Structure formats: C-alpha cells, structure tokens
Copies of this chain bind each other. A is one copy, B any other.
Amino acid sequence: MEMIRLDVKNEGKFAYDIVIRDSFDHLAEELKKLQVENRRICIVTEDHVASYYLETVREKIEPICRETHSYIFQEGEESKNLKTVNGLYEYLIHHEFDRKDMLIALGGGVVGDLTGFSAATYLRGIDFVQVPTSLLSQVDSSIGGKTGVDFEAYKNMVGAFYMPKLVYINTSTVGTLSQRQFVSGMGEIIKHGLIRDKDYYEWMKANKDKIMARDNEVMAKLIEGSCKIKRAVVEEDPKEHGIRAYLNFGHTLGHSIEKIMEFQLAHGECVGIGAVLASAMSWKRGYITEEEYKDIVTTFADFSFPKLPETIDLEEIVKETRHDKKMEHGSIKFVLLEKVGQAAVYRDVTEEEMLSALQEGRAQA
C-alpha cells in the first residue's frame, strides 16, 4: 500500500500529520521526525489492545528513544474517568516524566481521549501521539484535538482542546476489530458522508460489500476519505464555535440512547441510530425527501446497524437530552440535514419533534 500523508493545520499553521499505512513498520521513522532520541515515551493503552499490539509497537519504539514505558488500564468506557487519569499522573511522576517527554495513545477512542487529556494537563502539557487502532478513532476521535474524560454519568464533561504531534494509522488493525466495533466506526463514517460529501456517501454504498469484507484497498480509501472530511471541518472550526458542531449529527439522541442503555451499545452504533432519527426529523421538516430518508434507513441497515432498542422508553430519551452538554441557554443545538451531504444547526427543535422521530424509528424497528 502506498503511504497517505495528510497535513492538518491549526489556526492557519501546520500542526501535525495524519499518516496512513498498513502496518506499524513506519512508526519509528515518523517518530524520529519528532526528535525523540533523548525523550522518555510512555505507551498508554488498554488491556485488550495491549494483548494485540503493545509488544510490536514497543519493539519499534525502544531503539529510537531514551526509555520506553507502558501504562495499561482496563478496556472500556468505564475506565474513561479522572481515576484512570490520576493513575497515569502517578505513573508519570514516579517515573520522573518531565515536560520534554511524550505519551503515545495506542488504542481506540477511550485511549486517545484519555491520553490526550492527560498529556494536555500533565505539567501543563506534554507532547502526545495518536496511534488509533479502532475504525472509529482512526476516522474521527484521533483527529482534531478534542480530548477528555467522563465525569459521573456525563460524557466528556472534563477535557481540553489539545493537538497531537502525529496521528499514525495502521489500517491493518481494522482486521482484529469485533463486528460491533467495526459497525461502530462505520457510524461516524456514514455520518461524515451525510453531513458533508454526498459523493463519498454514494461511493460507500456502491462499495458496501468490499467494506463489510474489510478489503484492504477499499478500507484505506474509506479511511482517507473520512479523515479528509474530518480535517476540513476541524481546520475551519477548531474549537467548535461553528460548523464543527455538524459532527454532532446523530449525537444528541445518540448520546441519550447510549446513556439510557448504560453503554451496552457501542458509541458509533448509537450515533447510527441517532443519525437515522435526525434524518427522520429532516424529512418531516421537508429538508430531504421520503425517498432519501428511506435510503438512509436502508444504508444503516445494510451496514448492520442495530435498530432503536425495543425496550427503551422514548420519552426518557427525550428527557435525557435536557442534560446534554450541547444545551446552550436552554435551546439545544440540533444538527439536521439540509440535504444529503449538507448539515446545518437548528435551535428550534422541539421535544415533540424528537418524540415524533423516535416513534417513526420504533415503527421501523
């Protein structure tokens, strides 16, 4: 596979590269560009990912830096909190990590968000590198500098905008993902097409079978396409004052469902369900046609997305959105489709509208 390199700017200046390869073989040469020879590096990861990739990555890094360390926490959203961050701070302090040292986030979204936040706040900020191993983190969470952890039951309540120094994507890691994790990543990818790029969305549908078979060449193209969309959005609006909010398409109701289901569904699965619901609202408002809406329903079904869970209380979902952090002075910033391939933020979405879309979703289930 040819190398793909995408440079990402922050406030007009070069910030970091996204490098897409099909192995870890080029990680050392990319890290060398960051002058790591006299630095300590701590690979932060979770136990499941560690069992697959930690030794491989460690072997690549050990010859090129001063010391290689690893900090492994328990897999899962339950670890994404300040307790795990405190454990990492302790590890770094006791191993005398200073401002010149570096963290590598090896894993999915939880690892990347947590490691990024720790890097942003340890000694007021040390360098970190994203090595995302889940499809979701490769196309979405590793790019753009959003870092954070959950607080009590609230997702990403504590965090910082803090840029990595490099995002290194090894597409072959997609091969070891569970079907659920794979589908979860597809949630963000389909979302990218729907909010920003109709051609990409159509290409995805046309290549559905190869994507579901995780064909190497097609996956590299898929990941590149999605990274480009994410890059364009975060470059235009790094701190979510404007269009970056489009990336929350599917997230308002998705988050509520995720929380009520107590994280039994994966994040991207909930985003997929939420995207279908937001599409229903876009149709009912006359922004997209019924045909386009049905096509979106079919597409998510084709990519093996779950339906709205049968047991869930629809009014509870709506109620949950009131706590959503995207609430601003009482009016939710709700992302809908103006048309297929173009999102917009609406502040006039009512709870009745949400409920009506949820009833439509239930009828489809």
Give complex CA distance A160, B118 in Å: 11
Picked from B99, B124, B151, B161, the residue with its CB within 8 Å of the CB of A89 is: B151
Q: Which residues of chain B are near A328, meaning CB under 8 Å?
A: 98-100
The answer to whether A121 and B159 have CB atoms under 8 Å apart is yes
Indicate whether A203 reaches chain B with its CB closer than 8 angstroms: no
Copies in the complex: 2
User: Contact residues of A with B, CB < 8 Å?
Assistant: 38, 66, 82, 86, 89-90, 93, 96, 98-100, 117, 120-125, 146-148, 151-152, 154, 156-161, 239, 323, 325, 327-329
* Nearest CB of chain B from residue A124's CB, rounded to whole Å: 4
The answer to whether B325 and A98 have CB atoms under 8 Å apart is yes
The answer to whether B82 and A124 have CB atoms under 8 Å apart is no
Give complex CA distance A117, B159 in Å: 11
The answer to whether B98 and A151 have CB atoms under 8 Å apart is no
Picked from B96, B151, B159, the residue with its CB within 8 Å of the CB of A124 is: B159
Q: Which residues of chain B are near A66, meaning CB under 8 Å?
A: 329
* Nearest CB of chain B from residue A347's CB, rounded to whole Å: 13
The answer to whether A157 and B325 have CB atoms under 8 Å apart is no
The answer to whether B329 and A98 have CB atoms under 8 Å apart is yes
The answer to whether A100 and B158 have CB atoms under 8 Å apart is no
Q: Which residues of chain B are near A157, meaning CB under 8 Å?
A: 89, 93, 122-123
Give complex CA distance A90, B82 in Å: 13
Picked from B38, B82, B86, the residue with its CB within 8 Å of the CB of A329 is: B38
Picked from B86, B117, B160, the residue with its CB within 8 Å of the CB of A82 is: B86
Q: Which residue on B lies nearest to A161, using beta carbons?
A: B124
Q: Which residues of chain B are near A151, meaning CB under 8 Å?
A: 86, 89, 93
With A121-B160, A158-B89, A161-B125 known as contacts, the answer to whether A98 contacts B327 (CB < 8 A) is yes
* Nearest CB of chain B from residue A126's CB, rounded to whole Å: 11
Q: Which residues of chain B are near A146, meaning CB under 8 Å?
A: 124
The answer to whether B123 and A325 have CB atoms under 8 Å apart is yes
* Nearest CB of chain B from residue A191's CB, rounded to whole Å: 20
* Nearest CB of chain B from residue A293's CB, rounded to whole Å: 31
* Nearest CB of chain B from residue A194's CB, rounded to whole Å: 25
Q: Which residues of chain B are near A120, meaning CB under 8 Å?
A: 160
Q: Which residues of chain B are near A147, meaning CB under 8 Å?
A: 124
* Nearest CB of chain B from residue A271's CB, rounded to whole Å: 19
* Nearest CB of chain B from residue A152's CB, rounded to whole Å: 7
Interchain Cβ contacts under 8 Å between A and B, 30 examples: A82-B86, A86-B151, A89-B157, A90-B152, A93-B151, A93-B152, A93-B157, A96-B323, A96-B327, A98-B325, A98-B327, A98-B328, A98-B329, A99-B328, A117-B121, A120-B160, A121-B121, A121-B158, A121-B160, A122-B157, A122-B158, A123-B159, A123-B325, A124-B146, A124-B148, A124-B156, A124-B159, A125-B160, A125-B239, A160-B160
20 more CB-based (< 8 A) A-B contacts, given A98-B329, A121-B121: A66-B329, A82-B82, A93-B151, A93-B152, A93-B154, A93-B157, A96-B327, A98-B325, A98-B327, A99-B325, A99-B328, A100-B328, A117-B121, A121-B159, A123-B325, A124-B147, A124-B148, A124-B156, A125-B239, A160-B160
